[in-house]
Amino acid sequence: MASTDEIAAESATDWDRVRSGPEFIELKRRLRRFVVPVTAGFLGWYVVFVLLADFAHGFMATKLFGNVNVGLVLGILQFVSTFVITGLYLRYAAKRLDPLAERIRAEHERTSR
């Protein structure tokens, strides 16, 4: 199978060295700095929303304008926050992650040739 061949061919690489290099440590730090708080945030906000929908019926049914109530607005805000997080991540990854990953990849190709 190609995958095993590929892995065998590259096993000469010192992965521990790449992993402890300053550029990789920085890449990992940048990824975590975005992913960890954002994941905690959107999961927390989703669970709060579900709990409200589950146990705070009166609050969710409070009308804000016309027939649109708090529950509907919060639900739509879940959509909005999902879209916004997606957009922010695309931008963050393109600016802060991809160039660094590309540098590490190029460096690896240069040294392993």
Partner 1 sequence: MSDPVLNIGIFAVFVVVTLLIVVRTRRRGATTADFYTAGQAFTGRQNGVAIAGDYLSAAAFLGISGAVATYGYDGFLYSIGFLVAWLIALLLVAELLRNTGRFTMADMLSFRLKPGPVRTAAALSTLMVSFFYLLAQMNGAGGLVALLLGVTGRAGQAVVVSVVGALMVLYVLIGGMKGTTWVQIVKAVLLLIGAFGMTVWVLARYGFDFSAILHAAVERGGAGGEALLGPGKQYGATGLSRVDFLSLGITLVLGTAGLPHVLMRFYTVPDSGAARRSVAWAIGLIGVFLLFTLVLGYGAGALVGPEKIANSPGKANSAIPLLAQTLGGPVLLGLIAAVAFATILAVVAGLTITASASFAHDLYAGVLRRKNPPDAKSEVRVARWAAVAIGLVAIAGGIVTNGQNVAFLVSLAFAVAASANLPAILYSLFWRRFTTQGALWSIYGGLVVTVGLIIFSPVVSGTPTSIFPAAHFDWFPLANPGLVAIPLSFLLGYLGTILSTSPSDPHKHSELEVRALTGIGTTPERPS
| The binder of partner 1 chosen from 9, 33, 48, 111 (CB under 8 A) | 9
| Burial class of residue 16 in the structure, from the number of CB atoms within 10 Å of its CB (0-12 exposed, 13-18 middle, 19+ buried) | exposed
Please report how the helices 22-55 and 70-92 are oriented relative to each other, as an axis angle in degrees rounded to 10.
170
Give the contact letters, 38-77, x = binds to partner 1 (CB under 8 A), - = no.
Answer: xx--xx--xx-xxx-xxx-x--xx---xxxxx-xx--x--
Per DSSP, the residues of 68-110 read: EEHHHHHHHHHHHHHHHHHHHHHHHIIIIIHHHHHHHHHHHHH
Out of 33, 44, 48, 98, the only residue in the binding site for partner 1 (CB under 8 A) is: 98
Strand-pairing partners, residue 81, are none
Q: Which residues bind partner 1 (CB under 8 A)?
A: 1-4, 6-7, 9-11, 13, 15-16, 18-19, 24, 27-28, 31, 34-35, 38-39, 42-43, 46-47, 49-51, 53-55, 57, 60-61, 65-69, 71-72, 75, 78-79, 82-83, 85-86, 89-90, 93, 98, 101, 104-105, 108-109
